[in-house]
Amino acid sequence: MVLTLCMLVYVQLAIAVSIREHLYEIASRSVSTMRESKVSKKRRAPEFASNSKAMNNAVDMFKYFGSK
């Protein structure tokens, strides 16, 4: 019984780490896209307005999960 509970805790921790890593990858891709977008917008006329709230959320997640 105790061994089963310990295994369950390890599985839960593995799932939590996996989710954290996945969210980190999503946030880092969003930040990279945002940076590329800013660089390209400086070179040419503005096109469409980006969803700044979503980009800010991605930056916040990148800062939060950035310290692996």
Residue range 33-46, pLDDT digits in tens: 888 887 777 666 54
Q: Is the pLDDT of residue 68 over 70?
A: no
In a domain, 26, yes or no: yes
Residue 43, phi-psi category: left (phi > 0), alpha (psi -120 to 50), beta (remainder): alpha
In a domain, 7, yes or no: no
Q: Is the pLDDT of residue 53 over 70?
A: no
In a domain, 1, yes or no: no
Question: How many domains does the structure of the chain reveal?
Answer: 1
In a domain, 65, yes or no: yes
In a domain, 3, yes or no: no
Tokens 């896209």 sit at which residue?
33
Tokens 């989710």 sit at which residue?
19
In a domain, 64, yes or no: yes
In a domain, 24, yes or no: yes
The encoded tokens of residue 57 equal 């959320």
In a domain, 60, yes or no: yes
Q: Can you spell out the DSSP letters for 27-40?
A: HHHHHHHHHHHHHH
Mean pLDDT confidence for 22-26: 92
Mean pLDDT confidence for 39-60: 61
Distance CA 19, CA 7 (A): 18
- Which domain does 29 fall in, by range? 17-41+52-68
